[in-house]
Each structure stands twice: as C-alpha cells, then as structure tokens.
Structure 1
Amino acid sequence: MKTYRDYDDLPKIELPYGKEVSISDSTLRDGAQMPGIVMRSKHKVQIYEYLHMIGIEKLETFVYNERDRKAIKLMQDKGYEFPEITGWARANPADIDMVLNVDGIEETGILMSVSDPHIYDKMKLPTREAAQEKYLNALQYAVDHGLRTRAHIEDMTRADNYDFVFPLVEKILEIDPDCTIRICDTIGYGIPFMNVDEPYGIPTIVKYLKNELGAKNIETHCHDDFGLAVANSLAGYWHGANWSNVTYLGIGERAGNAEMEKLLVFLKRRIKGFEKYDLSCLVEFAKFMEKEIGIRIPRNKSVVGQNVFAHESGIHTAGVIKNPFTYEPYPPEIVGGQRNFLIGDSSGIEVLKFKVQETLKEMMDVHIEVDKNDKRLRNIQADIQRLFNEDERVSCISDEEIRAYVKKYFMFNPIVDQELHRREDDESPDNTI
C-alpha cells in the first residue's frame, strides 16, 4: 500500500528521453520589449545576478545601442561562467557584425520569420525562396565568422512547415549541424497535445525536427496569448527538445512568454533527479522586478504571489497547521517564500488559536498553549465575527489588531478575573467556588 503523507513520499516523473534539459533566458531581450517598462543597465546587471544565483545556463540580449553594450560589459565584469551572454540579430550581416564587435560573445540567435504574413507583409519579400536565401546567407556569414548559432524560426506555429519550414531547417543543419533550432510560438497558437499536426502541434514539430531532420539542439520559445506557454514549453521537453527559452514572470510582448519560475519549480519538484537549479531567490527576484521594473504581481500568481503560502479559510488553515503538506504543494523556503496565516471571514478557531499563541510568544517570550474552548479565545472570535457580520469589515484582521485583542483579553482580563475570584472567595462560607 502506498502512503503519501509527506513531500518525499510522492513519486517523481521521468523525462521520456532521459537527457539533460536546460533553460535560456530572454528577460533582457523579449522581456525588455514589454510595453510600459524601461530597464536600465543597473537593472539588467541585477537580473543577471539573480539568473546566476538560480543557475540559468544562457541569456540573450540586444547589442544595438550603447546602453545594451554597457550592460553587457558590466555583466561580463562579474566574471561568472553562467549564464552565458549570447547575442541576437536580424538575418543580415550588419546585425551579425554588431554581435561580432562585442568581445566575449560567442553565440547569436538569428531571426528567421517563416509565416506568410511575416515574409510578405512585414518584410515585403517577393517569395518564400527569397526569405530562405536571406536566412541561409546570414547563417553562413555567422558561421564563417566563428559564431555558434541559434535559428529563431519565428511564427512557426502559423507557417507551412512541411513545404517550407522543414526544408529550410534541413538546409540550416547542413550549414551548422549544431545550430539550435528555436521553435517560436510567436502568437501563442501552439498546442501541447500529442497527435495534433502542424502548424499547431508542439510535440509533432519537435519530434519531426529530432527524428526526421536529426536536429541535435531544439528549443521552444512560447508566448502566452492562449495561456499555454508553460504547457507548450514542457511539451517540448517531453518530446525531445533540450532547451526552453523563457522570461522571468513571463514578461514580454502582449501576454508575455513562458514563465521561468513556473518551469523551474515544476522541474525541481516534479522531475526525477533535477537538482541543478537553486530556487531560493525566486520571491526576492519577484519583489525586485515589482519594485524596480514596475511589474505588478497578482497576489495569486503561482510560485511568487503573496497568497501562495497564505492561508485564511478554516479547513485550509487547520490542515496546514497540523501538516503543511495537506494544502501546500512544496515548502515555502524552496522559493524563498514565507508561510502566512490570515484571519478573515472564513477563518476558524484553529487559525485564531495559532495566531493568539504566536502573539503571546512574541509578547512574553514563552510558549503558552491555549485551549480552543478558552472563553478569552472565543470572545476574540466573537468580536471578529461581529465585524464581518455587520459588514463593517472588508479585509483580513491584521497582526496589529490580533495583538490588541490579545492584550485586551489575555493580558488585562486575567487581572480582572483574579480580583473577582478573590472577592468571591471572601464571600464563600467554606472558601470554595
């Protein structure tokens, strides 16, 4: 019989191919394109610091202007082995020259737009063949100048893959067999389910690149317009991709990208033998992004939201107090979070008892066990419920308010009770109550 009463009891999943999978970051490239935010050099360097603390293998960044190059130099001055700083270029020699002019960059991505709207309307190219020639020439130029390459196959999930994209990838691999083929789900049309054919099926696309074309390095870059970016990234890993390109908090154009923190937690907590990333700074990283970059983080956002380890309702809080495994998917310290019990209109006596005992310990520096039927505890509960019943309260009871209730009922009442008992004793004929 299987017993699951602790995190360590739960079985972990194995990746089907049993190969090493890695993460590359685009927070400083795609994420920086998010409307309404501006990343200064100091912000980029601090983000780089967090990525290093986590153990992310690569990041990509623009090299177009002095601000970009200044940030790169500051990151390189840290002397870290990882994340490796890589470049990004459009498919022309001039852009690749900009990458080559930055000392220390040995790899670049090359944008290769493959859907018809991008080829004909955005780029104003006359034919698909013209687009292919442009992309292959740029790739050859990068390889000839000693760069490792990534082919960013833009809008692949809305393109004619069998007749155009797959033949293009075949030619890319002839030029650079080690080229990383990035599947760009640019508008979020990708589907993570098996047996969905191209252009949508991420499993189908990955398996074709791996099994039919022999691509050694396959990477997903998924946008979240339909809310499937993380699922599509995981589907990529499941069917043979060895890289996923993500951003922290999923920032980026429109609905953003696959969220790094979600992918990290899934890999570390759910996948067997996956220990290479340190997630203990994730909450701190999120607070930095909120304060310094201006990214608003919903309270209920997975992994880093304020409510992830907050408990209010009676059933949940009672369960967590007795065994956190009951209602928490992983311990808060894994991501640098902190458990928090809140008193609200759905809270029960267990969480109130816990908060009162916690407050008494803070005030008196000693643990005091309070019975849940203690009249003083029940009086506090009645006072709080009265606030909610009379519709006077629309928020949780703060720790400061709990402290005031404890002072009122536990610090003052015992003195009153003691005086009352003394008078009653004096009036009792046999000195008994």
Structure 2
Amino acid sequence: MKPWHVEICDVTLRDGEQTPGVSFTLEEKQDIAQRLDATGVEVIEAGFPIVSVHEKEIVRSVSRMGLDAKICGLSRACREDVDAALDAEVDMIGLFVATSDLHIKHKYKKSREEVVANALTQCDYAIDHGLIVRFGAEDASRTPLPVLIDIYRQAAEHKASYVTFADTTGRLTPLEVATIIPELVRNVPVPIAMHSHNDLGCATANTIIAAELGAYQLHTTVNGLGERAGNASLEEVLVTLALKGGISRYDMTQIPALSKKIQQYTGIMMPATKPVVGSNAFAHESGIHIAAILENPETYEFVPPQLLGLDRQFILGKHTGKRALTHILTTFGYQLPDDEIMKVLEEIKKQSEGKCVISPQILQDIIRNETGKEIINGNSVREDTGCSGRKF
C-alpha cells in the first residue's frame, strides 16, 4: 500500500485550550509541545498570540524550544494579529477569514470582495515578513464550493503554502467530506488542510476520509479537546494512519503518557471506552473473546496494544469463562483443579452481577473462601481493595 501523503498539525495548545474551562500554563504548554514533538507531529499550533501579552510570551517560549516541529500561531486577517505572531517568532501563521454568507453578513457587514481582499493583503504582509502562511476559510463547510475554490486560488496566487478547509460547526458527515475534498484537491494548486469539529461525532472520521482523498495537513487535538464537542482526536488519527494509511513514522508509544498529562492539566478525564486511550481500550472480559485471544490476539483485536506500548488486560466479571480464569491464575504461578476453578468462577459471576468489580484482592478472598487456599504471589497481585481495579 502506498502511504497516504499527509502531515499532522496538532492544535491542542490553541483549539484544545479553547475547550471551556481549559487554560495551560507556560510550563504545561512547553511540556505538551515537547511530548508532541517526541511523537513526531510535523506542526504544533502553539496558541493565538494576539489574545494577550502573556499568551504571546508563551507562544514565543515554545518557538524558542528548538523543536523539530514547525511552530504555528493562529491569526485573524488583521495586521495586529500578524504582528503579534511575528513577535511570537513562529514559523507558520494560520491566517483565517470567515467565508460563508452567514458570517460575511453578521460578522463583517461588508461585501465578500472587501473581506477577501483585506485577508489577501494580510497574507502578503505575513509572507513578506518571512512567515509560512496557511490561509484558512472559517465556516468553509457552509461556503458555496465555487466561491471557496475561487478564494483558495487567490490565496495560492498570493503564495499561501496551504489552504484550510474548516468545518467550524462540525456539520459534515464523511460522505459529504468525500464529495468536497476531491473537488478541492483537483481545483486548488496548494495542499489542503482539514480542520474538523466534532459536533456530530464525525471529526476523526471526516479527517481520515479527507486524508484518504488527498487532504495533506490534518488538524488534531490530544484526547479530542476543543470548542464545544472538540476536534479530531490525535490518538485516533495516528492509529488510523498507521493501520489504514501505511504510515509508520509517528512514535505512538508516547501517546498514553501524553493523554494522561492532558487529563491532568485540564481535569477532563477520558471515558473508559474512549478509543486508544480509554482504560478499557485494550481490556477484555468476555470468555469467548479471551479464549480466542489466547490462541491469536487478532481474533478480537484490530488495534494491537503494542502499537501504543501497552499490554492487553483481562477482566474478571460475569462474562468470564473458565479458560480466562485459568490463564489469570497461571500468570500468578498457581494452578487449581477444575472443580475448584468452577467454584471460584461461579462466585466471580455472582459478585459481578451484584455490580462488584473483581479486583485482585477480591479474587484472593474468593479463592480463600471457596477453596481454603491462600493465593499470594509477591508483587504479582496489585494492592487493590474494594470493588475496583479489576484489570489483571
């Protein structure tokens, strides 16, 4: 398979910070930028320099870190925004202007021609001052396609290096993206950047289908942070690029720790069922599944946990089978006869149906009560207590 031709622009430090209630300190932004760089993303959007003097200083500090990734700053099509980005010493500027009829009418109260002409003037100014310009169309997904193509062509003529298609309100489905992106790729002479929001839960899917159909720069955030329902998830996009797009250059073993750091910094915890980084992403309880996985993990795992530097985990619960329990006991270095295993298994199912999660400590208690035997194996069993920590 020929690898997809893409790069990642992670916008956690900008759009991710626009998640209501989220604000990163200078040290946190530097740490996140360092971790993103270690993952191998090509562009890091470090912030919106015009927001405040402090924000500009933070973006400048990231620009001076000497990372391999290019550092980008967001900018409205305003001279003062561009100057702030220049002061922040970024490599690239995400210069954006709203292009839909709705925004033109209610935000700018000017003609589209005036709005676009001003934006192109700021594009020229940024390029003249040495910045790489990514010319963004805000609310592109509600802009008539012929109008959008014309604006993008003008931006290319003014030497913008990319143009951004922003689904600002997250209104598109993958089939709609699949009709739009090929038209842009065919008719616009510079690379397309895809910026998806998740209001319909389609941000990652829309980003992936755009990549498969020729979009080049993919915008992501760690844990899918962002305005309202968030943006395309970095971890989901990277795993899909690896497994579907033939791309192996990103170090995804960095992702679990990066995700946890973002949760720590934002206070926004991921649900257990979150793909890739959720606590259950590589956990199995079903006896049917575990029995097959013990023969060949591919039977019930498409995403190999080793890709993330993780191990699969088996959970004891009402769906557990004899083989799974036998395997878990064996990993502790103990064997029980079949009749005792079945007694233990029956009690595990009974307690699980009562909403008690079977932790290693509870498993030891069950074994003691059902067989009279003590199962203690040094540090192999975690010191979990109560109805929690059920993963083995």
Are the aligned partners of 2:284 and 2:313 in contact in 1 as well (CA < 8 Å)?
yes
Give deviations 1:241-272, integer Å, cap 9, x for gaps: 11111111111011111111111001112233
CA deviations on 1:339-381 (whole Å, 9 max, x unpaired) are 211111121111221222223x2xxxxxx4545x2x2222212
What is the CA-CA distance between 1:413 and the residue it aligns to? 8.3
Task: Give distance in 2, aligned partners of 1:287 and 1:403.
Answer: 30
* CA distances 1:98-152 after superposition (whole Å, capped 9, x unpaired): 111223x2320111100122111123x2221221222112112212222210111
1:399 maps to 360
**Gapped runs of 5+ residues in structure 2?**
376-392
Q: CA deviation at 1:283?
A: 1.4
Counterpart of 2:177 in structure 1 is 202
1:56-95 correspondence to structure 2 within 5 Å: 56-60=41-45, 61-64=47-50, 65-82=52-69, 84-95=70-81
Q: How far apart are the structure 2 equivalents of 1:132 and 1:148?
A: 19
The aligned amino acid for 1:137 is: T
CA drift of 1:185 comes to: 0.7
Is 1:376 aligned to residue 340 of structure 2? Answer: yes
What is the CA distance between 1:405 and its match in structure 2? 3.3
Q: TM-score scaled to structure 1, two decimals? A: 0.81
SS at match of 2:320: coil
Correspondence 1:253 to 2:227: yes
Contact 2:193/2:219, CA 8 A, preserved across alignment? yes
Q: How does 1:21-420 map to 2 (within 5 A)?
A: 21-60=6-45, 61-64=47-50, 65-82=52-69, 84-103=70-89, 105-123=90-108, 125-162=109-146, 164-176=147-159, 178-193=160-175, 201-213=176-188, 215-272=189-246, 274-359=247-332, 361=333, 368-371=334-337, 373=338, 375-388=339-352, 393-408=354-369, 412=373
1:161-211 per-residue CA deviation (whole Å, 9 max, x = no partner) reads 31x3222222111111x5201000111222332xxxxxxx33343333332
Deviation string, structure 1 residues 371-404 (Cα, Å, up to 9, x no partner) = 5x2x22222123333435xx6x213211111123
8 Å contact kept, 2:134–2:163: yes
8 Å CA contact 1:222–1:230 kept in 2: the answer is: yes
State the alpha-carbon separation in 2 of the partners of residues 203 and 385 from structure 1. Answer: 47
Paired residue type of 2:363? I
Q: Tell me which stretches of 4 or more aligned residues in structure 1 moved more than 6 Å.
A: none
Q: Deviations over 1:66-93 (max 9, x none)?
A: 33233334434532222x1111111011
Supply the distance in 2 between the matched residues of 1:305 and 1:348 (Cα, whole angstroms): 24
Return the offset for 1:407.
Answer: 4.5
Structure 1 residue 156: Cα displacement: 0.9
**Displacement of 1:411:** 6.6
C-alpha distance in 1 between matches for 2:311 and 2:257: 11
Q: What is the rounded CA distance, in whole Å, between the counterparts of 1:88 and 1:186 in structure 2?
A: 15
Root-mean-square deviation (CA), in Å?
2.1
Alpha-carbon distance, 1:409 to partner = 5.5
d(CA) in 2 for partners of 1:50 and 1:85?
Answer: 14
Does the CA contact (< 8 Å) of 1:233 and 1:258 recur in 2? Answer: yes
Provide structure 1 residue ranges, at least 5 long, that are not aligned to the other structure: 1-12, 194-200, 362-367, 415-433
One-letter amino acid matched to 2:118: K
Secondary structure in structure 2 of the residue aligned to 1:299: coil
Alignment match, 1:421: none
Query: What is the alpha-carbon distance in structure 2 between the residues aligned to residue 203 and residue 413 of structure 1?
Result: 60
Closer, same or farther: CA 78–170 of 1 in aligned 2, 3 Å: closer
For the pair shown, which has the larger CA radius of gyration, 1 or 2? 1
Instruction: Tell me, yes or no, if the aligned pair for 1:262 and 1:302 is still in contact at 8 Å.
Output: yes
CA distance in 2, matches of 1:385, 1:203: 47
Number of residue pairs aligned between Structure 1 and Structure 2: 373
Amino acid in structure 1 at the alignment position of 2:272: R
Looking at structure 1, the residues matched to 82 and 49 of structure 2 have their Cα atoms a distance apart, in angstroms, of: 10
| Identity over aligned pairs, percent | 30
Distance in 2 between residues matched to 1:220 and 1:135, nearest whole Å: 20
**In structure 2, the residue corresponding to 1:75 is in which secondary structure?**
helix
- Structure 1 residue 287, shift from structure 2 partner: 1.4
